[in-house]
Chain A
Amino acid sequence: MADLALTLFPANARRTGRKLLRNRAFVAGAFLVTLVFLAIVLAPLIAQYEPNRMQIRMRFRPPSSEFWFGTDNLGRDMFARVLYGGRLSIEIGFWVVMLNAVFGVTLGALAGYFRALDNPLMRLSDALMAFPSVLLAIGIAAILGPSTSTAVIALAVVYIPRTARILRASVLVVRELDYVHASRAAGAGDWHILWRHILPNCMAPLLVQLSFVFAYAVLSEAVLSFLGLGAPPTVPSWGILISEGRSYIREAWWLTVVPGIAIAVTVLGLNLLGDGLRDVLDPRMKIQQE
């Protein structure tokens, strides 16, 4: 994340980098997120068992030195299942962020720059934002049927209007700055101005917003999966793990608590990261976040 900031903000790269490293929220968030990512990527090396290998005689083993996170009702190693399950959660979060970056930026930039498009685009986004986010995602997922791509599309639709709105607000400010007028006075066209001047100067709030979208996406994906509207794959996501473990919550608390902690740690890390980025890059946005 720090490297990303460096490439995005060459002007103040060193100063921004130093400020980020001094920001406790950012450092803590970056640490947690890195930890989760490493664990997920290195899962085949860390986990002793296959996530789907059943050992019926080992059912409902509580956390121990052999099974760190215990075993489930079919004797599968929860440590392996949580690590592999995280892959899907993070993957979905990643694609939601990508779709947000592409469509949120496009819509926000169009609405902010071409004023005639502002009203139609923003009223549409108002309509989408009027629904509670999880309810809307459930609705879309229910219509499209449960699958990984359904979850990605549903969550993207929910968060794109928010990203678009934040980008639009930044574009509205930047488009009236004198360097934009100077560029126009030199004969630059709309696309040159948008691409060379406006978008680069709207990157800070966008980056902050995307880190929050990642966190919300991981959380909402768990909700969708829990309700049976996410993906039903061979390797379940964190939401599905919680959903499966719910039946045995009295006998084996670790089946729900461990994936729950995994979600909490990931979301907390992403939120801290976003808070830190925001404080360093764009202090004005403090009040705007929901």
Chain B
Amino acid sequence: MTTTSPLLRVRDLTKHFPVKGGALFARETGHVRAVDGVSFDLHAGEALGVVGESGCGKSTTGRLTLRLIEPTSGTVEFGGHNVLALGKAELRQMRRSMQIVFQDPQASLDPRMTVEEIVTEPLVVQGDLRGESRTKKARELLDLVGLPVAHISRYPHEFSGGQRQRIGIARALAPGPKLIVCDEPVSALDVSVQAQIVNLLSDLQKELGLAYLFIAHDLAVVRHLCQRVAVMYLGRIVEIGTVGDLFAKPQHPYTRMLLASVPAAHPRLRRTQAIPRGDVPSALNPPTGCHFHPRCAFATDKCRVEAPRPRETSPGYVVACHYAGELGESK
């Protein structure tokens, strides 16, 4: 870890979605803790992967960071500015530096707009562009993401899934961001196309010095693209560290379970030990103590009562488990 101040600094980020009952006079009958005290740093030019099962709050974390959803509490600092305290005009200005790429390339492109209109929209909205310079800029952006410039006046439905995702990436690049939140950008694509998009993101990162908050559930993709990984479980980060350390020596039992559930290509390499058991509990009514204890092979009474605080087991490596470092190889 470098000692320079991080590009993005997230502390205790929390989002509770109210659950309402009743028709006309709705009352709050509870809330879903979608994100529950998430903290992490992201340095300029670095890619941080966020992995976890469906519903663990990965996507919500990404959207909270961009303030597409207002957090319940916590702080988000970007380049030294508190994003959550910005006024309308300042936030709009700030949005130039932080962009997003979505999972579904079909739903993320307006079917009524041409590619040129789509990729230059951020600049038009920011008031930077109009008229002919728009076409010129659109050509540059398409070229940057490897799309034929001649397709500039086509509509999204005329493209394949992978090409659409390239258009989405071009749009995110338009205002010259420093950070791009990638919300499962390859999950909806064919495997062969996934590799192309991952390589494109990787090249762009090197070329433009971008930082990624890369949300995914495919561990192999994260391993390939990211420098660090955060593992989320039920709205909390349970383990965060460099890709090398985390994949080689996972400390949290949940991380081990996730890694063990990746199918191995060779039958002899298949391990049968830590097969995931049980489902993810409801975030509406999470388990007491450590959220993971009902599924954990190592759980003790302490785990059932007391929630483990994140501990730094080595510099830059944080685990939220009472027994981190004490557990042997998985049973």
List residues of A whose CB falls within 8 A of some B CB. 9-12, 119, 177-179, 181-188, 192, 196-197, 200-201
Contact for A185 among B66, B103, B112, B155, CB less than 8 A: B66
Is there an interface contact between A185 and B95, defined as CB atoms closer than 8 Å?
yes
In the complex, which residues of chain B have a beta carbon less than 8 angstroms from the beta carbon of A181?
63, 68, 100, 102, 108
Given contacts A12-B157, A179-B108, A201-B112, contact A185 B125 (CB under 8 A): no
**B325 close to chain A: CB less than 8 A:** no
Is there an interface contact between B125 and A11, defined as CB atoms closer than 8 Å?
no
Is there an interface contact between A186 and B107, defined as CB atoms closer than 8 Å?
no
SS class, residues of chain A in contact with chain B: helix
B104 to chain A, nearest CB (A): 6
In the complex, which residues of chain A have a beta carbon less than 8 angstroms from the beta carbon of B112?
9-11, 200-201
Contact for B175 among A11, A183, A186, CB less than 8 A: A186
Measured as residues with beta carbon below 8 angstroms from the partner, the interface class of chain B is 20 to 34
Q: Which of B272-310 contact A (CB under 8 A)?
A: none
Given contacts A10-B112, A181-B68, A201-B110, contact A186 B157 (CB under 8 A): no
SS class, residues of chain B in contact with chain A: loop
Is there an interface contact between A187 and B92, defined as CB atoms closer than 8 Å?
yes
Question: What are 15 contact pairs spanning A and B, CB under 8 A?
Answer: A11-B111, A11-B112, A11-B157, A177-B108, A178-B104, A179-B110, A181-B63, A182-B100, A182-B168, A185-B98, A185-B100, A186-B99, A187-B91, A187-B93, A201-B110
B88 to chain A, nearest CB (A): 8
Q: Which of B113-134 contact A (CB under 8 A)?
A: 121-122, 125-126
A99 to chain B, nearest CB (A): 25
Contact for A186 among B24, B102, B121, CB less than 8 A: B121
In the complex, which residues of chain B have a beta carbon less than 8 angstroms from the beta carbon of A197?
110
Is there an interface contact between B125 and A192, defined as CB atoms closer than 8 Å?
yes
CB-based nearest B residue for A179: B110
Q: Known pairs A177-B107, A181-B100, A200-B110; list 15 more (Cβ under 8 Å).
A: A178-B107, A179-B109, A181-B68, A182-B121, A182-B171, A185-B100, A186-B99, A186-B125, A186-B171, A186-B175, A187-B92, A187-B93, A187-B122, A188-B125, A200-B112
CB-based nearest A residue for B89: A187
Listed residue (A179, A181, A183, A201) with the most chain B CB atoms within 10 angstroms of its CB? A179
CB-based nearest B residue for A174: B110
In the complex, which residues of chain B have a beta carbon less than 8 angstroms from the beta carbon of A186?
95, 99, 121-122, 125-126, 171, 174-175
For the A-B complex, the count of residue pairs with Cβ-Cβ distances under 8 Å equals 70
**Measured between alpha carbons, how far is A119 from B157 in the docked complex, in Å?**
36
List residues of B whose CB falls within 8 A of some A CB. 24, 63, 66, 68, 91-93, 95-96, 98-100, 102-104, 107-112, 121-122, 125-126, 155-157, 168, 171, 174-175
CB-based nearest B residue for A178: B108
A15 to chain B, nearest CB (A): 9
B121 to chain A, nearest CB (A): 6
In the complex, which residues of chain A have a beta carbon less than 8 angstroms from the beta carbon of B100?
181-182, 185
**Measured between alpha carbons, how far is A249 from B95 in the docked complex, in Å?**
73
Contact for A182 among B92, B98, B108, B111, CB less than 8 A: B108
In the complex, which residues of chain B have a beta carbon less than 8 angstroms from the beta carbon of A187?
91-93, 95-96, 122, 125-126
In the complex, which residues of chain B have a beta carbon less than 8 angstroms from the beta carbon of A183?
110, 121, 125
**Measured between alpha carbons, how far is A141 from B100 in the docked complex, in Å?**
54
CB-based nearest A residue for B25: A119
Is there an interface contact between B125 and A182, defined as CB atoms closer than 8 Å?
no
**Measured between alpha carbons, how far is A185 from B63 in the docked complex, in Å?**
9
In the complex, which residues of chain A have a beta carbon less than 8 angstroms from the beta carbon of B168?
182
CB-based nearest B residue for A177: B107
Contact for B107 among A9, A119, A179, A192, CB less than 8 A: A179
Is there an interface contact between A178 and B125, defined as CB atoms closer than 8 Å?
no
CB-based nearest A residue for B122: A186
B25 to chain A, nearest CB (A): 10
CB-based nearest A residue for B94: A187
A4 to chain B, nearest CB (A): 15
CB-based nearest A residue for B112: A200
In the complex, which residues of chain A have a beta carbon less than 8 angstroms from the beta carbon of B108?
177-179, 181-182
Listed residue (A10, A177, A182) with the most chain B CB atoms within 10 angstroms of its CB? A182
In the complex, which residues of chain A have a beta carbon less than 8 angstroms from the beta carbon of B104?
178
In the complex, which residues of chain A have a beta carbon less than 8 angstroms from the beta carbon of B155?
10-12
CB-based nearest B residue for A12: B157
CB-based nearest B residue for A13: B155
In the complex, which residues of chain B have a beta carbon less than 8 angstroms from the beta carbon of A196?
110
**Measured between alpha carbons, how far is A3 from B243 in the docked complex, in Å?**
57
Contact for B99 among A9, A12, A185, A192, CB less than 8 A: A185
In the complex, which residues of chain A have a beta carbon less than 8 angstroms from the beta carbon of B174?
186
Given contacts A11-B157, A178-B104, contact A184 B109 (CB under 8 A): no
B207 to chain A, nearest CB (A): 21
Listed residue (B108, B109, B110, B157) with the most chain A CB atoms within 10 angstroms of its CB? B110
**Measured between alpha carbons, how far is A11 from B153 in the docked complex, in Å?**
10
A29 to chain B, nearest CB (A): 25
A20 to chain B, nearest CB (A): 18
A226 to chain B, nearest CB (A): 39
In the complex, which residues of chain A have a beta carbon less than 8 angstroms from the beta carbon of B111?
11, 201
Listed residue (B104, B171, B175) with the most chain A CB atoms within 10 angstroms of its CB? B171
**Measured between alpha carbons, how far is A200 from B117 in the docked complex, in Å?**
14
In the complex, which residues of chain B have a beta carbon less than 8 angstroms from the beta carbon of A11?
111-112, 155-157
